[in-house]
Amino acid sequence: MEKVRFTEEKATMLATLYGRALDNRREKPILGDQAAEAALRQIDYNFAELRVKDDVAVTVAVRAKVIDEWAAQYLLEHPDAIVLHLGCGMDSRVFRLDPPTTVTWFDIDYPDVIDLRRKIYPDREGYQTIGTPITAFGWLDHIPSDRPALIVAEGLTMYLKPDDGAELLRRLVAKFPTGQLICDVFSRLGIKLQKTNPVVRRSGSTLYWGVDDPAEFEQYGLHPITSLDASEWAEPDVLKESFSDVTLGMKLQLFAIRFIPAMRRIARIGRWSF
């Protein structure tokens, strides 16, 4: 087993891995990420310290499911795409989506995270990893730019400083002829209330970048396509048959935020074209 010692925001990727594994153990999993379960067995870490409960696992799985479905749709329409999975952590998305070998897929994260990925996950054709801080922008020079690009950033934007995030988006848009960005964002209120998020609080990490309106990305050359707020991406028709297994507390929370606009917008998943 691989001994893991991560600090601050890097520890949150273990929480999301654990959440996906917990979802996989449910009778009716939302995401069904068997690779997450297999990865968990290979990592020597006290996951109980993360205190990821079933409700947190549900939100982790639902968010990943929505992003997976949007990404799969783009790859169906662009089977020769370049994929940049930014801040990939231990996410097994490339294995869940299983893109054709005509897709060139890059998983990008800190060097120690990528080192762990290389020990846990197998190689596959068309798949590469890059170990670097996302905002050390030199890594972009090694990425081809002659095809449409799909950029996926799950659980990343809120950890970036606003100036760094803006510069990242500008560089990505300038790099490729066309493409889509799929990512989640926290509102400015979400940034202010970050210590109410148990994963953020227990990891000791800090969130910085809040985005209240998907149209804010237009200044970087990104045009909104679809946006789901917290009341939409975690509603029963997204959870489907798994909704019956969600705890009463989560059901009440999902019901309540429908009537509080500021709470609905606290977490959002969006798609942008460029």
205-248 confidence digits (pLDDT tens): 889 999 999 999 999 999 999 999 877 755 545 555 555 556 66
Instruction: Quote the pLDDT of residue 171.
Output: 98
The CATH number of whichever domain residue 143 belongs to comes to 3.40.50.150
225, HSE (Cβ side, Cα atoms, 13 Å): 14
Domain holding 207, by residue range, is: 2-273
* Number of independent structural domains in the chain: 1
Query: Does residue 3 carry a pLDDT above 70?
Result: no
135, HSE (Cβ side, Cα atoms, 13 Å): 11
25-84 confidence digits (pLDDT tens): 988 888 999 999 999 899 888 887 777 877 778 888 989 999 999 999 999 999 999 999
d(CA 56, CA 253): 12
Phi, psi of 89 (to 5 degrees): 55, -135
Cα-only R_g, the chain: 18
Confidence label for 152 from pLDDT (cuts 50, 70 and 90):
very high
Cβ atoms 91, 68 nearer than 8 A? no
95-145 confidence digits (pLDDT tens): 999 999 999 999 999 999 999 999 999 999 999 999 999 999 999 999 999
Confidence label for 252 from pLDDT (cuts 50, 70 and 90):
low
Query: Does residue 15 carry a pLDDT above 60?
Result: yes
Nearest to 152 by CA among 201, 188, 103, 208: 103
pLDDT above 90 covers a percentage of the chain that reads: 64
